[in-house]
Structure 1
């Protein structure tokens, strides 16, 4: 499944949040005309990365059982429902899931993070 397959997938240019709100990981619901889209934004050494906030194991939000989804070493995102882990920089599955997180293209323009064109 790709992030664009979600019924509530936001269109390119949709504003998400001010970049100043993003520490290491930020969970946000993006309002669209078709509903709310669950998104995780991660600040990495390579820049901002974003993923649909849905573990590919059961499609529950990674933070469904609490906000602590970042590993102690800061290199992995972890599903609070069943412990699957994903590389923070790529979204690739590291353990406990059949595939990685769905990457969502984002960009920061004048301090506002928004959905980028593919």
Structure 2
């Protein structure tokens, strides 16, 4: 098991040097959907695919509901989901902004230390074009 990468040119917009370098870019083999994940999980398990899929969908929906309620969600030993907010205009007085003009900027994910420690064992292989 290895993560494939390609080397691509990087233009450093903030650098004073005009010299360009190369950086690694992860080459994704495929996107694993819930269906594919369920098939892989059920392969060596006595749990049925429909039960696994339902469990994953229930967790996903509950995470969404918790985020919509202003909570962050930590899946132990996996990571934390949270929401960040933004507005289109900069204000100096909080009374100048209405809640209707605030929107979800991003759903953030911060991996747990255990997940990051596990990812440190990743092996990389250069993908040939």
TM-score of the pair, normalised by structure 1? 0.20
Higher strand share: 1
Of the two, which has the highest radius of gyration?
2
TM-score of the pair, normalised by structure 2? 0.19
